[in-house]
Structure 1
Amino acid sequence: MASTKPSGEQVPGYGERRHFVPLTSVLPDLSSRGSARLHFVVSTGMEKPDPELRRFIRSHVMLGKNKGKAQRPRKRVTKELQNDSSSSSCVSNPSAASGQDGDMVEPSASSTKPSHTVLPVTVPRKFGSQLDTIRFADAVEPVSVEVVLQFSSIAKKVMFPRLESYILFERRADNWIAPLIVDPAYLHLMIFTSQYYFDAILPRKFTPLNERSLPHFLETLRLLRKRIAEDDDQVRLSLSTAATVMGLAGYAQIIGDSKSARHHMEGLCRIVSLRGGVTTFRDNGKLLLEIFRVDLGAALHSGSMPVFFNHPSCREPILPYPDLSLLLMTRGSVANGSTRRDSTTFLDDMDDELARAWKVMSEFCSVINFAVDSAQRISTETYLDAMTSVMYRLFDMHFEADSSDEAIRLGLLAFSTSVFLQWQHLGMPYPHFSATFRGCLATLTSSSHINLQLLVWLLMVGAVSVFDAADDEWLKPLLLVNTRHCEIDCWSKMRDLLDSFMWIALLQDGPGKAVFDSTITYIDTPLLDLSRAHAYQ
């Protein structure tokens, strides 16, 4: 910017206010010579510049300042489009953006719109499903597979409530999701079982299959029958075929069809045997675990013997007891709390095989309690070996119906059910086993063949594992009488007694405390012969 001083004018000193005015008459107009018009301003005194001059100075100073800077699109793009026609008309008129003589002036509000059309950036609506590009084993609607994936995301929590965070299941996607692409029977099985969970099991409405799940159930049966009739052992004995048969057995058990469940388990047992036996499934521990869980659950429900390790088609030794001593040694003295009753006096009173099963189960409880306290996880193999070796052997043992050994055997089975099967929260009862255990406990109350504290443990284990509200009428009065004779008047004392035998706090503290609290306030307690209770000790 240039400056000239008119003749006779004094230059303002320091601190004096100055301003500038355009001297359009000082130099001739150069626009006719092909160059831009020059503007000169000089200081003329202490007066403030008028508004017009201030606008001119501001626009001159800002020339080129914003050149090259891209403005970010405004949020309300739709409003810009609505006013686009008026904006375009303002910009297309040069005189609206400049003075009559070409001098730049402050643009008005209507001239601030961009000179180009701004199109809205929108995300297109979702078209189809994310699974549309995946080719499954059969032609099914993608929404049906989405139900499978939805259930798979919560399956571990459903099948192992509260304990799922402490078991390490490896290769879950390989074993349970990958077969959806290659095995049509398995695909339809997973669709109808997943749909049945959301339609019937979750809302506790055990209705027949509906129009969404029934076609997939029928297609599973059709494909499976066709596969078994074919002479292709590679397909008939595949792991996905075993998983499909296991799923059908589990569904039959849920709806109370014990005959079909047994039929499916016998067929599954033959598949396992033809593949080389149980040991050939060791690389697929999760599948083998689920097969045994269904087998044991069906036996508890119907009162029959389990199929595996008993059926003529798969006669093989029961898996050996796991050696948990190394796990207990690495965890220090974690067994002190939950194995205090594993003294020689307590175990010597039991049958030798029963005492061995008790000891292994007690050690497993110590391992689980430590895993919970230290936020660690146990392997699938440890969980599988403990469940199989203990529960199948307990089914194989036989004692007198009114003996303490029979009561302990049934108590261990009930306890193991709450640890390994955990299906009671899904509404799956064990009517035959519950009736057998109930009759055994009733026999013990009329005799003096069992320790009173052990009887309290058996009653509490039955209450949290297999008994339901219909048993309150006899269970709570009996439990109340025996807790009083054990001088138990609060949950902490009851918790100490339970832990001195065998107890997993994570799984059983919640329901156990609920049973205890409702028992000590039980009003309709009949008058019982309390003197007989002293004889139990």
Structure 2
Amino acid sequence: MPEAFAFVSACANHPNKPANADRFLIRSHVMAGRNKSLGSRRSLREAARQAATPPKIYTTATDCGDRHALRESIETSPDSVDAKPDAGPQNVRDRNDKRSGKDFEAACLQLDRQIRTRSGVFASLDNTETACGELISELTTYNSAKHAAFPLKYTIDFDEAEDSCVPWIFSNTAFAHSVFYATSAANDFRLGRPYTRPTLIHLRRTIRSLNMQLGEDGGHLDDSTIYTIVTLAMLATLVGDLIAVRAHMVGLRRIIELRGGESFFVERPKQHFMLERLDLAWSAYSGAFPRYSCEPTDWRSAFTGPQAVSDEGGLASIVAMIVDARLSTVFQDFQRLTRLINAYANEDGRLKGDVFQHVLASIQRRLLWLRFSQVDGWSERLRLGMLAYLTTTFQLSGRKVSYDYLSARYRRSCQALGACTASDDMRTLKAWLLVVGAMSVLEPSEPWLGAIWHEIAGSWREWEDVQHQLESVLWTNKVQDEAGKSAYEALTF
């Protein structure tokens, strides 16, 4: 007899009504596997157990003291919000350094089931269940905003496995709230208003969930932890909350140390890029030295091969005569990198993320650690120009990000430019500084900026003429073209 069948006896006094014990047996068979929500904690735990996962990784560095330090480094105090943390699902962690094909396939199957059943995973602001469809919609908005904010996505081939964070929104409460927080905060920033109550509630819930996650064994090993903290830190820079930025940066640095230091980034160029971006934002806003990266010990070129022959006798040679030798090497590396990116883009290709990030990290660290006291000297002026150029790799629609220290220092440096030029190359370099400033850390409407521009631009009447000049200095066509054209039009108005 098949095991799926079971017999019950009929009661003599009530032939149509089974006994109590038999009714319990019937219910247990009928409801087996049915009285269960796919978005519940139990379902998520079962899905995680079904996915192939490696054994836990233990290290002597992850003792209670370290976990406590990590939690303290993330802690902030948005006490103005009176909201209780929700009872979200238990975090399900993938301890792999990178999600394997089987794991991701299992997560996608789980995602497909949840889409069809529209089961919620955590409470929304009014403590009602958030539908799966709403989560997917929010994640789509988040991804669209993220790609728009980092335009290098379309010219650099970052490892697509690092984009496999879709299942996190269903299994990781901190990450899910960080997505809601990011979209709400970005909208507040775009509209030029302080954080609204929904934004602050999601911020508070993100921090609470993140601290709970870091308090668990191996919580720092979850890649979603880094993404969540980076999101918090990047958004804190938008509103100039340096205390929060400092706390997040300390936490990130400690997590990276626990996960192997620099070796952690070998297969994670995108995460490396995001963390370097935080260093740039921190220094550009406060003027402080980087909090994440260490002072460079090697000032040589990041490229192992010789410089291109075409650079000899050109703008790079002139720059070498007027700036510090270390900065001249950085400038040549930057020129070579942008031309390499453009060469791939012209063939409808993308530069490999690990190659790009290795060179970019070297360029940025040297720029941030080099300091020149003479603001109107060419060494400091070109250093500031390259830093301002780097800030254009992070853009938000509708408003510029305020970098107080870099803006003030760049303004002082460019105001001393003057229109007199010794050569066409120097004229081009000055024009590049003005356009980069107008599209990043300065306002094109500033009268002094337009006045100097009109004296320098001369016969350049069309954007295509100016763009050609900019490309001879530093320019990434598919990244800076739109913002550069807008800055040019504002300058020539």
What's the TM-score once normalised by structure 1's chain length? Answer: 0.61
Cα pair distance change 1:194/1:173, threshold 3 Å:
farther
Task: Name which of 156, 168, 179 aligns with 1:190.
Answer: 179
Q: Distance in 2 between matches of 1:149 and 1:505?
A: 29
Q: SS in structure 1 opposite 2:196?
A: coil
What's 2:211 paired with? 225
Q: SS in structure 2 opposite 1:306?
A: coil
Kept in 1, the 8 Å contact 2:178–2:206? The answer is: yes
Q: SS in structure 1 opposite 2:115?
A: coil
Task: Name which of 404, 411, 420 aligns with 1:431.
Answer: 404
What's 1:265 paired with? 249
- What does 1:132-531 correspond to in 2, within 5 Å? 132=117, 136=121, 141-142=130-131, 143-161=133-151, 163-172=152-161, 175-197=164-186, 199-201=187-189, 204-211=191-198, 213-228=199-214, 230=215, 232=217, 234-310=218-294, 322-323=302-303, 325=305, 341-399=314-372, 400-418=374-392, 420-423=393-396, 426-445=399-418, 451-471=426-446, 473-484=447-458, 487-520=459-492
The one-letter amino acid paired with 2:470 is L
Kept in 2, the 8 Å contact 1:339–1:502? The answer is: no
Deviation, 1:389, is 1.2
Q: Distance in 1 between matches of 2:267 and 2:300?
A: 17
Deviation, 1:426, is 4.9
Cα pair distance change 1:299/1:131, threshold 3 Å:
farther
Q: Distance in 2 between matches of 1:491 and 1:174?
A: 36
Q: SS in structure 2 opposite 1:299?
A: helix
The one-letter amino acid paired with 1:209 is T
Q: Distance in 2 between matches of 1:141 and 1:272?
A: 33
Kept in 2, the 8 Å contact 1:188–1:216? The answer is: yes
Cα pair distance change 1:429/1:132, threshold 3 Å:
farther
The one-letter amino acid paired with 1:416 is L
Cα pair distance change 1:317/1:275, threshold 3 Å:
farther
Cα pair distance change 1:339/1:458, threshold 3 Å:
farther
User: Which of the pair has the greater relative contact order for Cα pairs under 8 Å at 6+ separation?
Assistant: 2
Gapped runs of 5+ residues in structure 2?
1-112
Cα distance per residue 1:359-378 (max 9 Å; x no partner): 11101111121122111011
Cα pair distance change 1:494/1:153, threshold 3 Å:
closer
Q: SS in structure 2 opposite 1:200?
A: helix
Cα pair distance change 1:151/1:295, threshold 3 Å:
farther
The one-letter amino acid paired with 2:433 is L
Q: Distance in 2 between matches of 1:210 and 1:392?
A: 38
Q: Distance in 1 between matches of 2:276 and 2:116?
A: 33
What's 1:114 paired with? none
Q: SS in structure 2 opposite 1:323?
A: coil
Cα pair distance change 1:475/1:340, threshold 3 Å:
farther
Cα distance per residue 1:64-85 (max 9 Å; x no partner): xxxxxxxxxxxxxxxxxxxxxx
Q: SS in structure 2 opposite 1:177?
A: coil
Cα pair distance change 1:223/1:442, threshold 3 Å:
same
Cα pair distance change 1:132/1:288, threshold 3 Å:
farther
* Higher-Rg member (1/2): 1
When the two structures are aligned, how many residues end up with a matched partner? 373
Kept in 2, the 8 Å contact 1:184–1:223? The answer is: yes
Cα pair distance change 1:141/1:383, threshold 3 Å:
same
The one-letter amino acid paired with 2:149 is M
The alignment yields a C-alpha RMSD, in angstroms, of 3.5
Q: Distance in 2 between matches of 1:299 and 1:510?
A: 26
Cα distance per residue 1:8-33 (max 9 Å; x no partner): xxxxxxxxxxxxxxxxxxxxxxxxxx
Q: Distance in 1 between matches of 2:210 and 2:122?
A: 14
The one-letter amino acid paired with 1:460 is V
Deviation, 1:131, is 6.1
Q: Distance in 1 between matches of 2:296 and 2:483?
A: 37
Deviation, 1:290, is 1.4
Gapped runs of 5+ residues in structure 1?
1-127, 522-537
Q: Distance in 2 between matches of 1:246 and 1:457?
A: 31
Cα pair distance change 1:423/1:319, threshold 3 Å:
farther
Identity in percent: 23
Deviation, 1:483, is 2.5
Q: SS in structure 2 opposite 1:501?
A: coil
